[in-house]
Amino acid sequence: MILQDILTTQINNALKEIHNVTIQTIEFQATRKEFEGDITVVVFPMLRQVKTNPVQLGEAIGAYLLKNVEEVDAYNVVKGFLNISISNSYYIDFFEAIKSNPTYGFVSHADNPEVTMVEYSSPNTNKPLHLGHVRNNLLGYSVAKIIEASGTKVNKTQIINDRGIHICKSMLAWKMFGNNETPESTGLKGDKLVGNYYVKFDAVYKTQIAELITKGLTNDEAKKQAPILLEAQQMLKLWEAGDKEVVTLWETMNNWVYKGFNETYKNLGVEFDSMYYESQTYLLGKEFITEGLASGVFYKKEDGSVWCDLTSDGLDEKIVLRADGTAVYMTQDIGTAIQRIKDHPAISSMVYTVGNEQDYHFQVLFLILKKLGFAWAKNLFHLSYGMVDLPSGKMKSREGTVVDADDLIDEMTSTAKEISQELGKLEGYTDAKKEEIYKTIGLGALKYYILKVDPKKRILFNPKESVDFQGNTGPFIQYTYARIQAILRKSNVDKDSKINLTALHPKEKELLKQLQLFPEVIQNAAQFHSPALIANYVYDLVKSFNSFYQNVSILGADTEAEKTFRVQLSNSVANTIKNGFSTLGIDVPERM
């Protein structure tokens, strides 16, 4: 049974006996280091129901617990805080129960029929993935893994933005300037090749704007009348009309991009269970606008456009259908959400991983879906996240100043290689093994640096800083895991043998208390969609282990029982590091 549950029951027994009251929620916190104890009860909130002095109340509860709860060894009261010392036997029994469980902290979803759909990535097919996409992918994939670890099945999905004027810009530039070059003829990944033509379009567009301005047009007029833009708009009309030549070019260039994306996803270590394409969803949703008109959710203006009035909900009026009957993005998103439920009836909730510039859009989308009467709409969540900046400043795709995801992965691997060589940590390894570990360290550094930050916060990404082997970094944690593996290889200890101890070193107890927190951290991270909770938990666990390692001899323990226990404890710490990092999509090397 969980310690807090035991104490909550017994504290209420004490309150019932002493003051004839019951308190629904008892507040616990870790005991501060300057006081004796393992867990602290905050007494102050109880004074709303019990009219007495907080110290007297703390003393009375403490005395009751000491007398009636075998897990309680001692207590002390500091002002309104009851600090409780828990018996060694409680922690030893806890460890005995979890030490042989390789999935400790995770909850099986085998008997849970519900599914959460997590959407992430969702790129445009006119450019390669960049640093902003990297944060999106890492965040969405990690949240999916965390939700899965918390006991719910997950469907990882994306909607690929494969149509629209921006896609036609790359297509037109390739048609005008490409000389029929292909990824094979240039040796470039398909997404990079197509991205180059997006940049080319913008360069020509700006030149044409400047020329039109010299002929007397205003800047706004020139932007609208630039010949290359007009041609791109015409190409979009031809695509929507099903023009064979345009559609064939669109399919060809998109396939180049998909192949490139898949390579990046593989290198980044993310994957998907289902895919949606805007070219297939952009007409969805219109039928629900008709239904919403009939039910009064929407109304029609004189020009024929259809709107949803959300002013009574503190928002504004939102258009859902243009006067000419064409859909807007909101219409498409309404239709896509409904289509996903049709395709996957077990889905009970959805998480949209999209940057915070779309906060308002998702507020409106979720509210409209609720108004349309979909029960599952109450379980929609926008995983909003901040931008990623570099020391050099903001990135702009159309100007070609983005940090390409593939280049970033290569740079992280190179940085890991450079630092590892300086430290001499991989001497004696084959070159192939070294390269494998460099990539594991580099990717681990990248993922951890991004995921340890609360999703809502903006990040200034510093590649060199992220690969530091000291401090709150991925490599520091990976190195601790590898160090434990080295201990285990030398130990020759049965990891499943029964513990034969009665006393615990304070550092052992501290580690056990950290391990106890892991299941709750997983559940909290799932509830709040925050990989940062797990990242920082694992860092705290590693700090606690390193303090244990420096203060307690593991293989040189005084008795065989102590040695066995410390090896088993080290093994459980390593397992928890591995499990925690797996939810972040980070690998841990056995040697480093």
Do residues 530 and 518 lie in contact, with contact meaning Cβ atoms separated by under 8 Å? no
CA distance 274 to 346: 14
At 392, the pLDDT band (50, 70, 90 cuts) reads low
Q: Which amino acid is at 119?
A: E
Residue 259's Cβ-side half-sphere holds a number of Cα atoms within 13 Å equal to 15
Maximum alpha-carbon separation in the chain:
94
> pTM of the prediction?
0.92
Rounded (10°) angle between helices 88-98 and 506-528: 60
What is the reported pLDDT for 401? 52
pLDDT of 396 > 50? The answer is no
pLDDT of 277 > 50? The answer is yes
CA distance 382 to 384: 6
What is the reported pLDDT for 234? 97
Q: Which amino acid is at 260?
A: G
Average pLDDT over the chain, rounded to an integer: 93
CATH fold of 3-86, please? Gyrase A; domain 2 (3.30.1360)
pLDDT of 284 > 60? The answer is yes
Closest CA to 557 of 567, 546, 543: 567
Q: Which amino acid is at 383?
A: L
Do residues 297 and 372 lie in contact, with contact meaning Cβ atoms separated by under 8 Å? yes
Q: Pick 110 or 189 by higher pLDDT.
A: 189
User: Per-residue pLDDT tens for 492-551?
Assistant: 888 889 998 989 999 999 999 999 999 999 999 999 999 999 999 999 999 999 999 999
Q: What is the mean pLDDT of residues 268-288?
A: 93
CATH 1.10.730.10 residue ranges of the chain are 409-582
> Among 85-99, 287-301, 411-425, whose mean pLDDT is lowest?
411-425
Q: What is the mean pLDDT of residues 449-464?
A: 91
Q: Which CATH number fits domain 409-582: 3.40.50.880, 1.20.120.420, 3.40.50.300, 1.10.730.10?
A: 1.10.730.10
Helix (H, G, I), strand (E, B) or coil at 463: helix
Query: From the CA atom positions of the chain, what is the Rg in Å?
Result: 29
CATH 3.30.1360.70 residue ranges of the chain are 3-86
Two tokens at 49?
Answer: 């129901």
CA distance 586 to 592: 15
Two tokens at 148?
Answer: 């899965």
Q: What is the mean pLDDT of residues 132-160?
A: 97
What is the number of residues in the chain? Answer: 592
At 394, the pLDDT band (50, 70, 90 cuts) reads very low
DSSP 346: T
What is the reported pLDDT for 399? 46
pLDDT of 462 > 90? The answer is no
